[in-house]
Amino acid sequence: MVSTLARPGRRLAKRLLLLQAGVVLATAIVMTVVINVDWGISALIGGGIFVVANTAFAMCAFLFSGARAAKAVVSSFYGGEVLKILLTVCLFSVVYLYAEVELVPLKLTYLLVLGVNILAPVLFINNNK
């Protein structure tokens, strides 16, 4: 029964992560075709940073479920958010230090997927009614 309580949230998180990955791939392909390959790769990296960090958060957030594990749920949720922020900072640092990327598509794709992260759950929830 405990896992059934978290099942709708896990399903929503999985749909959201798949949507984010699709938006990143589509954006990278469009930028590659319209502008050049460097912009496409930079867009893929920028969006990939967000998707990787969000995946780590989702895995931590749904580690526990149920009323008996309320403290574990809260601590894993906050721990996942800390991990997400640290991963984002570390991945951006690694990209800035070691990769030659175009900053405009890198940041634009990151912000685009952030917008998807904000707006998509509203669409998913309204579709279930």
What does the pLDDT look like over 74-119, one tens digit per residue? Answer: 787 888 889 999 999 999 999 999 988 999 999 999 999 999 888 8
Instruction: Assess whether 27 and 40 both reside in one domain.
Output: yes
Helix axes 37-61, 103-127, angle to 10 degrees: 40
| pTM across the whole model | 0.83
Of residues 13, 101, 12, the one with CA closest to residue 51 = 13
Residues of the domain holding 37:
8-67
Of residues 17, 118, 127, the one with CA closest to residue 61 = 17
Instruction: Assess whether 52 and 83 both reside in one domain.
Output: no
Instruction: Assess whether 86 and 48 both reside in one domain.
Output: no
Instruction: Assess whether 95 and 44 both reside in one domain.
Output: no
Instruction: Assess whether 122 and 74 both reside in one domain.
Output: yes
Instruction: Assess whether 73 and 115 both reside in one domain.
Output: yes
What is the C-alpha to C-alpha distance for residues 51 and 32, in angstroms, rounded to an integer? 20
What would the pLDDT profile of 32-87 be if each residue is shown by its tens digit?
999 999 999 999 999 999 999 999 998 888 776 655 666 777 787 888 889 999 99
Instruction: Assess whether 76 and 91 both reside in one domain.
Output: yes
